[in-house]
Structure 1
Amino acid sequence: MFIVCVAACPTGVAHTYMAAEALEMTGKKRGHEVKVETQGSMGAENEILDEDLARADAVIIAADVAISGKERFAGMVKLECSVSDPIKFGDAVFEAVEQEVAHG
Protein backbone atom coordinates (compact mmCIF):
# COMPACT_ATOMS: atom_id res chain seq x y z
CA MET A 1 0.00 0.00 0.00
CA PHE A 2 1.04 3.62 -0.55
CA ILE A 3 0.02 5.79 2.39
CA VAL A 4 0.44 9.54 2.57
CA CYS A 5 0.65 11.17 5.98
CA VAL A 6 0.69 14.61 7.55
CA ALA A 7 2.30 15.24 10.93
CA ALA A 8 1.78 18.49 12.85
CA CYS A 9 2.02 19.55 16.50
CA PRO A 10 1.24 22.87 18.20
CA THR A 11 4.85 24.09 18.21
CA GLY A 12 5.75 22.35 14.96
CA VAL A 13 9.07 21.07 16.18
CA ALA A 14 9.86 17.92 18.16
CA HIS A 15 6.65 15.90 18.06
CA THR A 16 6.04 16.69 14.39
CA TYR A 17 9.36 15.15 13.39
CA MET A 18 9.14 12.30 15.91
CA ALA A 19 5.73 11.37 14.49
CA ALA A 20 7.03 11.62 10.91
CA GLU A 21 9.90 9.28 11.72
CA ALA A 22 7.59 6.84 13.51
CA LEU A 23 5.14 6.83 10.57
CA GLU A 24 7.96 6.15 8.09
CA MET A 25 9.57 3.41 10.19
CA THR A 26 6.37 1.62 11.17
CA GLY A 27 4.93 1.83 7.67
CA LYS A 28 8.10 0.40 6.13
CA LYS A 29 8.21 -2.36 8.77
CA ARG A 30 4.63 -3.29 7.82
CA GLY A 31 5.51 -3.40 4.10
CA HIS A 32 4.05 -0.07 3.01
CA GLU A 33 5.44 2.81 1.03
CA VAL A 34 4.92 5.96 3.10
CA LYS A 35 5.33 9.65 2.35
CA VAL A 36 5.09 12.05 5.29
CA GLU A 37 4.50 15.77 4.95
CA THR A 38 5.44 17.76 8.04
CA GLN A 39 3.72 21.03 8.88
CA GLY A 40 5.47 23.03 11.53
CA SER A 41 7.48 26.06 12.45
CA MET A 42 9.38 25.83 9.15
CA GLY A 43 6.19 25.55 7.09
CA ALA A 44 5.34 22.46 5.06
CA GLU A 45 8.19 20.13 4.20
CA ASN A 46 8.19 17.05 1.95
CA GLU A 47 4.85 18.21 0.54
CA ILE A 48 2.38 15.66 -0.76
CA LEU A 49 2.02 16.26 -4.50
CA ASP A 50 -0.97 15.67 -6.79
CA GLU A 51 0.71 12.56 -8.21
CA ASP A 52 1.12 11.21 -4.64
CA LEU A 53 -2.58 11.73 -4.00
CA ALA A 54 -3.50 10.04 -7.29
CA ARG A 55 -1.83 6.78 -6.27
CA ALA A 56 -2.37 6.87 -2.50
CA ASP A 57 -4.47 4.12 -0.92
CA ALA A 58 -5.06 6.08 2.29
CA VAL A 59 -4.03 9.08 4.36
CA ILE A 60 -3.03 9.33 8.00
CA ILE A 61 -3.31 12.76 9.60
CA ALA A 62 -1.40 12.78 12.89
CA ALA A 63 -2.00 16.29 14.18
CA ASP A 64 -2.96 18.20 17.31
CA VAL A 65 -3.57 21.40 15.32
CA ALA A 66 -5.50 22.26 12.16
CA ILE A 67 -3.48 21.35 9.08
CA SER A 68 -3.21 23.27 5.85
CA GLY A 69 -4.70 21.72 2.73
CA LYS A 70 -6.90 19.16 4.44
CA GLU A 71 -9.45 19.47 1.62
CA ARG A 72 -7.06 17.67 -0.78
CA PHE A 73 -7.82 14.43 1.10
CA ALA A 74 -11.58 14.58 0.48
CA GLY A 75 -12.99 11.24 -0.58
CA MET A 76 -9.92 9.27 0.53
CA VAL A 77 -9.72 6.57 3.19
CA LYS A 78 -8.53 8.68 6.12
CA LEU A 79 -7.40 8.11 9.68
CA GLU A 80 -7.03 11.11 11.97
CA CYS A 81 -5.20 10.79 15.27
CA SER A 82 -3.09 12.68 17.76
CA VAL A 83 0.48 13.49 16.76
CA SER A 84 1.66 11.28 19.63
CA ASP A 85 -0.26 8.18 18.47
CA PRO A 86 2.23 7.06 15.78
CA ILE A 87 5.03 7.50 18.31
CA LYS A 88 3.34 5.46 21.04
CA PHE A 89 1.01 3.16 19.07
CA GLY A 90 2.48 2.97 15.56
CA ASP A 91 1.33 -0.55 14.77
CA ALA A 92 -2.21 0.19 15.97
CA VAL A 93 -2.40 3.30 13.76
CA PHE A 94 -1.38 1.33 10.69
CA GLU A 95 -3.59 -1.61 11.59
CA ALA A 96 -6.58 0.74 11.77
CA VAL A 97 -5.88 2.28 8.38
CA GLU A 98 -5.22 -1.16 6.85
CA GLN A 99 -8.62 -2.30 8.12
CA GLU A 100 -10.29 0.80 6.64
CA VAL A 101 -8.72 0.12 3.25
CA ALA A 102 -9.59 -3.59 3.36
CA HIS A 103 -13.21 -2.95 4.31
CA GLY A 104 -13.49 0.36 2.45
Structure 2
Amino acid sequence: MDDTTHELISNAEVIAVNQDKLGVQGKKVKSTNDLEVWAGPLSDNKVAVILWNRSSSRATVTASWSDIGLQQGTTVDARDLWEHSTQSLVSGEISAEIDSHA
Protein backbone atom coordinates (compact mmCIF):
# COMPACT_ATOMS: atom_id res chain seq x y z
CA MET A 1 0.00 0.00 0.00
CA ASP A 2 1.42 3.39 -0.95
CA ASP A 3 1.61 6.29 1.51
CA THR A 4 -1.25 8.23 -0.11
CA THR A 5 -3.66 5.31 0.13
CA HIS A 6 -2.64 4.63 3.73
CA GLU A 7 -3.20 8.29 4.64
CA LEU A 8 -6.66 8.24 3.05
CA ILE A 9 -7.95 5.13 4.78
CA SER A 10 -6.40 5.85 8.18
CA ASN A 11 -7.42 9.52 8.59
CA ALA A 12 -8.62 9.57 12.21
CA GLU A 13 -10.78 12.67 11.72
CA VAL A 14 -12.64 11.18 8.76
CA ILE A 15 -13.11 7.92 10.66
CA ALA A 16 -14.52 9.89 13.61
CA VAL A 17 -17.16 11.48 11.35
CA ASN A 18 -18.03 8.07 9.92
CA GLN A 19 -18.38 6.61 13.41
CA ASP A 20 -20.19 9.59 14.97
CA LYS A 21 -22.55 8.47 17.74
CA LEU A 22 -25.58 10.25 16.23
CA GLY A 23 -25.48 7.74 13.37
CA VAL A 24 -27.35 9.84 10.81
CA GLN A 25 -26.28 9.43 7.20
CA GLY A 26 -25.54 12.55 5.19
CA LYS A 27 -27.28 13.29 1.90
CA LYS A 28 -26.69 15.24 -1.29
CA VAL A 29 -28.06 18.74 -0.67
CA LYS A 30 -26.85 20.56 -3.79
CA SER A 31 -25.76 19.56 -7.27
CA THR A 32 -24.68 21.97 -10.00
CA ASN A 33 -23.34 20.22 -13.07
CA ASP A 34 -20.53 18.04 -11.69
CA LEU A 35 -20.13 19.93 -8.40
CA GLU A 36 -21.88 18.44 -5.37
CA VAL A 37 -22.43 19.32 -1.72
CA TRP A 38 -23.31 16.59 0.78
CA ALA A 39 -24.23 17.33 4.39
CA GLY A 40 -25.47 15.61 7.50
CA PRO A 41 -25.86 16.20 11.22
CA LEU A 42 -23.32 15.01 13.77
CA SER A 43 -23.55 14.79 17.54
CA ASP A 44 -22.86 17.89 19.67
CA ASN A 45 -24.73 20.15 17.20
CA LYS A 46 -22.09 19.72 14.51
CA VAL A 47 -22.60 19.30 10.78
CA ALA A 48 -20.45 17.33 8.35
CA VAL A 49 -20.14 18.90 4.89
CA ILE A 50 -18.51 17.34 1.85
CA LEU A 51 -17.57 19.48 -1.14
CA TRP A 52 -17.13 17.17 -4.13
CA ASN A 53 -15.83 18.03 -7.59
CA ARG A 54 -16.80 15.35 -10.11
CA SER A 55 -15.76 17.46 -13.11
CA SER A 56 -12.66 16.86 -15.20
CA SER A 57 -10.78 19.91 -13.90
CA ARG A 58 -10.13 21.87 -10.70
CA ALA A 59 -13.17 23.90 -9.59
CA THR A 60 -14.56 25.93 -6.72
CA VAL A 61 -17.35 24.22 -4.79
CA THR A 62 -19.54 26.37 -2.53
CA ALA A 63 -22.19 25.52 0.05
CA SER A 64 -24.38 28.26 1.48
CA TRP A 65 -25.75 27.98 4.98
CA SER A 66 -29.23 27.34 3.56
CA ASP A 67 -27.83 24.38 1.57
CA ILE A 68 -26.57 22.68 4.72
CA GLY A 69 -29.34 23.59 7.16
CA LEU A 70 -27.72 26.45 9.05
CA GLN A 71 -29.48 29.74 9.74
CA GLN A 72 -28.20 32.93 8.17
CA GLY A 73 -26.07 34.84 10.67
CA THR A 74 -24.60 31.64 12.10
CA THR A 75 -20.82 31.71 12.54
CA VAL A 76 -18.84 28.47 12.66
CA ASP A 77 -15.32 27.13 12.91
CA ALA A 78 -14.85 24.99 9.77
CA ARG A 79 -12.50 22.02 9.97
CA ASP A 80 -10.80 20.64 6.84
CA LEU A 81 -10.35 16.95 7.65
CA TRP A 82 -7.86 16.36 4.81
CA GLU A 83 -5.62 19.35 5.58
CA HIS A 84 -6.14 19.06 9.37
CA SER A 85 -6.72 22.81 9.59
CA THR A 86 -9.44 25.02 11.04
CA GLN A 87 -10.85 28.22 9.59
CA SER A 88 -12.43 30.28 12.36
CA LEU A 89 -15.44 32.58 12.25
CA VAL A 90 -16.85 31.44 8.91
CA SER A 91 -20.30 32.84 8.08
CA GLY A 92 -22.76 32.62 5.20
CA GLU A 93 -21.08 29.94 3.13
CA ILE A 94 -18.13 27.62 2.87
CA SER A 95 -16.11 27.30 -0.31
CA ALA A 96 -12.98 25.53 -1.50
CA GLU A 97 -10.94 24.94 -4.64
CA ILE A 98 -11.17 21.19 -5.20
CA ASP A 99 -9.13 19.04 -7.57
CA SER A 100 -11.02 16.83 -10.01
CA HIS A 101 -12.33 13.56 -8.59
CA ALA A 102 -14.03 12.35 -11.76
Q: Same-fold call, TM > 0.5?
A: no
Structure of larger gyration radius: 2
Which protein has the bigger strand share? 2
Which protein has the bigger helix share? 1
